[in-house]
Structure 1
């Protein structure tokens, strides 16, 4: 059953969102296998509206159907940032990444650091803020119960200590997540194969390495139509801005 997820798509917005005729029309075109036409409509919606995980997800499926692996990965990553717990998006992203020509070997990370990153990604920044607020409320409620003698002092004290530890941990995580989202550099996906150069002028600089479609990079600097990137393996170089698409 898992392999069928790649063909699935969201048919409508949730009840809390306004209906969108273009979205329905794009979905109909997708069903009719008019993928290029459906892509144009999905992209049009994104240009005129705030990003929505359902639009990015459907767009990723359409790009995948026409073998635009880089653009499919870009779409799924945007969808996952907006809806980090969606298993269908995660699965389709994994499928698309498996179609990359090469895969950069990730630097070694410890088990605890990897688990921390997974926990951090499980909720959005706003959801972590809400969770932190609920912990504060629980701490205040516990203090109130102790003053009213509803809870024994020793038991209440233990609860308070646990809650304080959780509150500190969650707020450290929130600060870390916001710092990641507000960092000075951006992330981008390569939407086409290209060469990374030693400088922003192709005539005067040498080729350093080749970057394949679908690769993830961090943008360190922008110089007109050129961007200075760093890959996950630490390689750096200049590429044309038309070869990448920023993750929003």
Structure 2
């Protein structure tokens, strides 16, 4: 029974994959013909089938860019970068799309010790820091056993020093893993989809206006209250924006 179920699941998954490949090829063909709106529909069909890839997001962003759809193009370039963060083509095209935005906020740069710490934390993902920690612990055990059973003084000394270093690396990796997890959990980027939106001092329409943002601007969501989101703009300004005016990037 389980074997039959596995075969059925595999067959369904393969069929869905083949269907998505067909949609992708048709979408690309439409894009190459300059039928960008039709191509967008095909790409979105793939996403509706819960198939997420950097290639689909990238091509979808390109189609929106051709139609001068500022917010969607930047949104999907950002989605593509989440899956391929170091892809030069995605970064380059995103930069072109960002030039269409009205807002030209300059991001407040990190300086000093905090910059060094954050750069170190971001060297590896949470999973990779965790793997490094486990590998260091295993190495410590091997080195400690080598130290314990060795009768050669020089070998014992070397094994002892290396085991201590492996413990230190393990502790640092564990610390970095927790820090990276915390940063990832706090990281809630979003793109403004409203043509113009007023960021308020409090989560209500009658409160004072702090700043105005326009479509395509990237913000960081800090917290939520009813139909409002507290956001931070790259220039450091913070305030409340209607939830309907932005679209979260971390939702798939």
Q: How high is the TM-score relative to the length of structure 1?
A: 0.75
Tell me which residue corresponds to 1:26: 27
Q: Give, in whole Å, the separation in 2 of the partners of 1:92 and 1:116.
A: 30
Q: Give, in whole Å, the separation in 2 of the partners of 1:61 and 1:111.
A: 38
CA distances 1:57-78 after superposition (whole Å, capped 9, x unpaired): 2222222222223222222222
**Offset of residue 18 of structure 1:** 4.1
Tell me which residue corresponds to 1:3: none
Q: Alignment partner of 1:67: what SS?
A: coil
**Offset of residue 247 of structure 1:** 0.8
The equivalent position to 1:228 in structure 2, one of 224, 227, 230, is 230
Structure number, greater radius of gyration: 2
> Structure 2 vs 1, CA of residues 25 and 168 (structure 1 numbering), >3 Å: closer, same or farther?
farther
Would you say the 8 A contact 2:193–2:247 is kept in 1? yes
> Structure 2 vs 1, CA of residues 25 and 122 (structure 1 numbering), >3 Å: closer, same or farther?
farther
Q: Give, in whole Å, the separation in 2 of the partners of 1:209 and 1:146.
A: 63
Q: Alignment partner of 2:215: what SS?
A: coil
Q: Alignment partner of 2:26: what SS?
A: helix
> Structure 2 vs 1, CA of residues 209 and 171 (structure 1 numbering), >3 Å: closer, same or farther?
same
Bigger proportion of residues as helix: 2
The equivalent position to 2:169 in structure 1, one of 154, 166, 169, is 166
Tell me which residue corresponds to 2:83: 82
> Structure 2 vs 1, CA of residues 73 and 168 (structure 1 numbering), >3 Å: closer, same or farther?
farther
Q: Give, in whole Å, the separation in 1 of the partners of 2:49 and 2:148.
A: 54
Whether 2:159 is the aligned partner of 1:153: answer: no
> Structure 2 vs 1, CA of residues 66 and 167 (structure 1 numbering), >3 Å: closer, same or farther?
farther
1:1-248 alignment to 2 at 5 Å? 18-19=17-18, 20=20, 21-49=22-50, 51-149=52-150, 152-183=155-186, 186-198=188-200, 202=205, 204-219=206-221, 220-224=223-227, 226-248=228-250
Q: Give, in whole Å, the separation in 2 of the partners of 1:57 and 1:75.
A: 6
**Offset of residue 211 of structure 1:** 0.3
**Offset of residue 122 of structure 1:** 4.5
Q: Give, in whole Å, the separation in 2 of the partners of 1:90 and 1:112.
A: 27
Q: Give, in whole Å, the separation in 2 of the partners of 1:43 and 1:208.
A: 36
Q: Give, in whole Å, the separation in 2 of the partners of 1:101 and 1:167.
A: 47
CA distances 1:168-225 after superposition (whole Å, capped 9, x unpaired): 2222221122223333x832111243131535554x455432102222222322423x
Q: Give, in whole Å, the separation in 2 of the partners of 1:96 and 1:140.
A: 52
Q: Give, in whole Å, the separation in 1 of the partners of 2:123 and 2:86.
A: 6
> Structure 2 vs 1, CA of residues 133 and 217 (structure 1 numbering), >3 Å: closer, same or farther?
same
Q: How many residues align?
A: 229
> Structure 2 vs 1, CA of residues 134 and 215 (structure 1 numbering), >3 Å: closer, same or farther?
same
Q: Give, in whole Å, the separation in 1 of the partners of 2:185 and 2:86.
A: 21
Q: Give, in whole Å, the separation in 2 of the partners of 1:81 and 1:237.
A: 26
Q: Alignment partner of 1:152: what SS?
A: helix
Q: Which runs of 5+ in 1 are unaligned?
A: 1-16
